[in-house]
Amino acid sequence: MSNKQKFPLILTLIAIFLCINSLRAEENQDSAPPRIIKILQTSDIHGNFFPYDFIEQRASSGSLSRIYAYVRQEREKFGAENVLLLDNGDILQGQPTAYYYNFIDTTQTHLAARMLQFMGYNAATIGNHDIETGAAVYDRYVRQCPFPCLAANAIREGSNRTESYFKPFYIKEIQGLKIAVLGMITPAIPLWLPKNLWQDMYFESARSTAERWVPYLKNVEKADIIIGLFHLGAASNTVQGGIEEDGGLDLPAYVKGFNIIFLGHDHRPLYKKSDYENGESVVFLNPGANGNYLSEATITIDSDGRFSVDGELVNTNKYDPDSGFLARFRGDSLKVSLFVSEKIAVSKKDFSSREAYLGPSAFVDMIHRIQLDLTGADISFASPLSYNTEIKKGDILVSDMFKLYKYENLLYTMRLKGREIKDFLEFSYDLWINTMHSPDDRFLKITQKGKRYLFERENYNFDSAAGISYTVDATKPYGERITIDGKMKNGKRFSLDADYSAAINSYRGNGGGGHLTEGAGIAPDSLTSHITYSTTVDLRYYIMQWMKKEKIINPKITSDWKFIPKTWTDTAGKRDYNLLFNP
């Protein structure tokens, strides 16, 4: 065969070879495994950094230490560059670990910022309990975090909606997809927290903020995937002034463009995938509180570049705390242990929040006594902030103060009319008890959830009063239950038309729970005009100082109120108590 004859044959063989290779490449492409991106979310950690409860001083579930064990596993499996780690706020309040670095050791980098940096977080939102710590704390935390802290609807005062106090969004490109994370905080903060804690900002509704930012992320930033990192609960609930506290599930019905929405705030674990009439398919995830669960959204990319999203909740208690994490922060754990173990007083007897639901209790009356001593007010309002806790006879430690007073509220003195006080109490007890028609009726407003019985409403809204003598008639309907006797503890005569000073925490004083607005009928925008005094630091600090000064504490009932008819409420109350606490 001549060279001229060989040449066409060679070209034919080359063409066949290239064709076969092309077909093989197509086959390999078709059989190529899908690419995976993992988006992991924590929320409402509330200082639960270690697998240890510094309040109860015992081992605990959840925590960042267990979360990090799972995060490391996923990074090793899918590649660190393919795992996005996000926090959804309320990290600076709860366990003494947060309190210590908020208010005691303020010189070094905040422990939360150091831990999240160590764990490799990409972005975080700010929650309402983070704002509760005050600007000195949250500004320091934001400044020290090596990643953006988000809340697009916290608008800087005077900026005419042009500037968010925190960063509005975060963008990262992973495997050719541009992923945008839009952060938001519940806009109901002005109902709970005094203005001085958020004086440089105002809060826009979640819907208005999403309507402004989602088109920008789509059309200007050219985001392929939009994630909502929202410190909002799932349910739609409009509170006073028409403000929607939560409503996370409803948002995609109004604003098109979300692929994933991470929720928080309500402490209710959730995984849900919803299809909307506007053509949206959105994955919702909420890991609940304290790090017991971790939200995991999985983005799967096929060979054509199309992607799908699914999700699940990861039970972190299936994982041992990460040893490297514990070793890195062992010194911080020791500092907090020493702090909470400090003896501040001695108690002559046990006292428990459980007794507070059936009548006057030494637990709530301790708070009443301290509030009246600190303010010199005529009347005190207080509730059992911890649902089920006990302070034992003997040494009272700093850790016990987190049982007695759970939140970082300020203490107010407010000017209230006698009629407003009466209506306040009517509202409070209606959250708490039923109207009984026989001794066999249920006394407390409780409901069965699974195998447990729980209160229908939040126990921290069950305010009683000290300084006045009154009865609560369980056979009467709302509005007719409270009868206030004429003589007060300070010797004054009580009148519905007279003015009185009332010691009350800042959450309640700003309208939290609705006692002053829905109950007493005070317009939300006029609440501040009723405030005559406010502490500058949290009430727990003053309680600790009061304890140190007293040294010996005798817990006892000092308030003067009761449920009637006693035979009915005692019998029914014991039944309900056993359902709640002795199942």
CA 127, CA 351: separation in Å to the nearest integer? 32
Q: How many CB atoms lie within 10 A of CB 20?
A: 10
Handedness of CA 383, 386, 389, 394 (dihedral sign): negative
What's residue 51's pLDDT?
98
Q: What pLDDT is attached to residue 10?
A: 55
User: Contact 160/204 with Cβ under 8 angstroms?
Assistant: no
Q: Tell me the β-bridge partners of 415.
A: 501
Is residue 202 helix, strand or coil? strand
The pLDDT score that the predictor gives to residue 267 is 95
What span, in angstroms and rounded, lies between the C-alpha atoms of 565 and 428? 19
Q: According to the model, what pLDDT value does residue 244 have? A: 76
**Distance separating alpha carbons of residues 65 and 448, to the nearest angstrom:** 33
Question: Phi first, then psi: what are they for 310, rounded to 5°?
Answer: -140, 175
Report the alpha-carbon distance of residue 462 to residue 460 in Å, rounded. Answer: 6
In this structure, what DSSP letter does residue 166 have? Answer: S
Amino acid 48: pLDDT: 98
- Nearest partner of 540 among 143, 189, 102, 186, judged by Cα: 102
- Domains in the chain, CATH or no CATH each: 32-336 (3.60.21.10), 342-581 (3.90.780.10)
- Residue 517: count other Cβ atoms within 10 Å of its Cβ: 22
CA distance to 38, 123, 155, 196, per residue, from 82 (Å): 6, 15, 32, 41
pLDDT in tens, 296-350: 999 999 988 889 999 999 999 999 999 999 999 999 999 999 999 999 999 999 9
- Residue 153 CA to residue 165 CA, distance in Å, equals 9
Ranges of residues in the chain with a pLDDT under 70 are 1-31, 238-242
What was the pLDDT predicted at 211?
96
Compute CA distances 460 → 44, 171, 333, 463, 577, whole Å.
Answer: 18, 39, 29, 7, 17
3 state SS of 549: helix
pLDDT value for 20: 54
pLDDT at residue 450 in the model: 86
Q: Provide the pLDDT for residue 235.
A: 84
Task: Give the span between the Cα atoms of 556 and 360, in whole angstroms.
Answer: 10
Contacts of 484 (CB under 8 A, 6+ apart): 418, 421, 422, 468, 469, 470, 494
Please tell me whether residue 23 adopts helix, strand or coil conformation.
Answer: helix
